[in-house]
Structure 1
Amino acid sequence: MGRGRTRTGKDGAMAPRPRELTPDRSARDLFGAELRRHRERAGMSLRRLSEVLNYSKSHLARIETAESLPYDDLPAKLDVCFGTDGLFARLHAVAKKEPFPGKYRRVIEIERQATTIEQYLSATAPGLLQTADYAARLMRAVQQHAPDAEIEAQVTARLARQARLWGSRPPRCWFILDESVLRRGFGGPEVMRHQLQVLVECAEQRHLTIQVLPFSAGEHPEVLGGSLTLYTLPDRLTLAYEEGSRSGAFFENREEVAERRASYDLLRALSLSPRDSEAMIRAAMEDWTPCEPPVI
């Protein structure tokens, strides 16, 4: 969902309109829309509401735009503040069943349907293969001010996605990891070593293939700094999804998908073989082994 046109703020600067919500499609959006509606009807700014509730303004803003959900007593506080007789408590009971923000919901749905998943990642381990500790540290790095309960809920949702890989009919998955994934630490040596060990164990499964794109392969501007995923559905239709640090986009047009297929195939050709990739991952594991203190 894009933003609307800009408007003039109190200081004369042009401020973006609040993100448009779709309360008829999502309980998360409905919660945010009702929060915004009652706040504006009361003539309160986000700053003023945060002062009244003794609650983070930035988190309130994320809740209004359906990017986050409250994970404490905020719904009850909102009902008291606006006199809504349990409305926000009831909305929260439904909205918390949607662990993913709206912008990721379609990605998750496509992922659930896909019979083949081919993914290139330039900076992090695949979400489908992440350990709980690695996922938590990664999410905390991206959302530094989010409540701990929100991070925990997101980690739980991410781990739940992985169950399909170990079901009776798992998708065929092919992961290409930039070498930086092995070198950039999230959570320190122990967390990284465990994550790399899990990658090695996953690569032993017949339906999972992992390759490493080494630094020596050079630059690849078409996907540098982001991720590219190709989803093949049961009807053999292939969709492409590109994601950067702040946004993501699906591509369904046959020519656009073909362009991204060509990019992925080039990355696969330039990557190390699965056997050599395993060797590089094991070598990186040794690099993440904590050094023993010298004996005095």
Structure 2
Amino acid sequence: MTFEARELSPDRSVRDLFGAELRRYRERAGMSLRRLADVVNYSKSQLARIEAAESLPYDDLPAKLDACFGTGELFARLHALAKREPFPDKYCRVIGEIESKATTIKEYASATIPGLLQTRALAEESLRLGNPYASDAEIETLVQARIDRQALLDKPKPPRCWFILDEAVLRRPVGEAGVMRRQMSALVEAGARAHLTIQVLPFAAGGHAEAGGSLMLYTLPHQPLRAYEEGSHSGTIIEDQNDVTIRRENYDLLRAMALSPRDSAAMIRVAMEDWTPCEPPLT
């Protein structure tokens, strides 16, 4: 079967740019993937995935590519940038191509407050938990990238957003009590905005099909509905419309099981009071 090269979008991410440059220099040198694989001691399938921006190479490959093509430190520098990219893998496509253009965003969150609603303090605490070996500068880059996403909620014509929060995200501490209290206050304020609706799915609702992960549904102009499911370390864009329909039905059921927006705001206020830092005992 003939291999058909995937069309690349080098302006999408550094990872895509790495793949596009790899293909450009390989084709300029008149080398097939198999021939390049022999030269750099990689498998053809590995190189194909790297060219398609589906994976990053191991740390030894960029230097081999620079030596092979005589490109100085081009691939080494691109590789260093790609590893620090705030939104790697498929999530970069979700942020850059889908979320930023959506007219409607619907999200169910079971583990943490959605990034679009997080305060800076909660974002920092969450990202430190997920990146325990990152430097302060790397964490700050990730935090700022997350906060920058929220600008779409303040556009002149912002997307209509609907958030369903599992009760667990109100109760599980992330950082100190003060961080959680300020986050609950921010949720109350967000829920009062005309284009945002926040509902809480209480523990009493029981089990459901989307338990344990996060689900996003995106409506874009003149395009079919897209779904995105995310776990703690991976995410999947879903475009097959039969599969999207299943997720949409799951979301509709969650919305029916959740508290009303008014009752949800009341529960969030109760959680906010529960997160009031305790005063030290008098001595």
How far apart, in 2, do the equivalents of 1:101 and 1:190 lie?
Answer: 31
Partner of 1:107: 94
Q: 1:248 to 1:211 in 2, by over 3 A?
A: same
Q: 1:138 to 1:277 in 2, by over 3 A?
A: same
Q: 1:147 to 1:274 in 2, by over 3 A?
A: same
Partner of 1:215: 203
Report matched runs for 1:21-40 at 5 Å: 25=10, 26-28=13-15
The 3-state SS of whatever aligns with 2:112 is coil
User: Can you give the 5+ residue segments of structure 1 that lack an aligned partner in the other structure?
Assistant: 1-21, 35-40, 44-64, 68-78
Matched AA of 1:188? E
Give how far 1:133 is off.
1.2
Partner of 2:188: 200
The 3-state SS of whatever aligns with 2:198 is strand
Give how far 1:284 is off.
0.4
How far apart, in 2, do the equivalents of 1:148 and 1:66 lie?
Answer: 23
How far apart, in 1, do the equivalents of 2:230 and 2:206 lie?
Answer: 21
Partner of 1:191: 179
Does the 8 Å contact 1:228/1:241 carry over to 2?
yes
Q: 1:251 to 1:23 in 2, by over 3 A?
A: closer
How far apart, in 1, do the equivalents of 2:221 and 2:9 lie?
Answer: 29
Q: Which of 154, 159, 176 is the matching residue for 2:164?
A: 176
Q: Which of 124, 139, 148 is the matching residue for 1:151?
A: 139
The 3-state SS of whatever aligns with 1:224 is coil
Matched AA of 1:123? A
How far apart, in 2, do the equivalents of 1:287 and 1:66 lie?
Answer: 44
TM-score relative to the length of structure 2: 0.75
Identity %: 61
Alpha-carbon displacement from aligned partner over 1:20-57 (angstroms, at most 9, x marks no partner): xx9984433666999xxxxxx999xxxxxxxxxxxxxx
Report matched runs for 1:219-258 at 5 Å: 219-220=207-208, 222-235=209-222, 237-258=224-245
User: Can you give the 5+ residue segments of structure 2 that lack an aligned partner in the other structure?
Assistant: 1-6, 23-38, 42-54, 58-65
RMSD of aligned Cα (Å): 3.7
TM-score relative to the length of structure 1: 0.71
Does the 8 Å contact 2:90/2:237 carry over to 1?
no
The 3-state SS of whatever aligns with 1:289 is coil
The 3-state SS of whatever aligns with 1:161 is helix
Matched AA of 1:219? G
Partner of 2:4: none
How far apart, in 1, do the equivalents of 2:75 and 2:217 lie?
Answer: 39
Partner of 1:269: 256
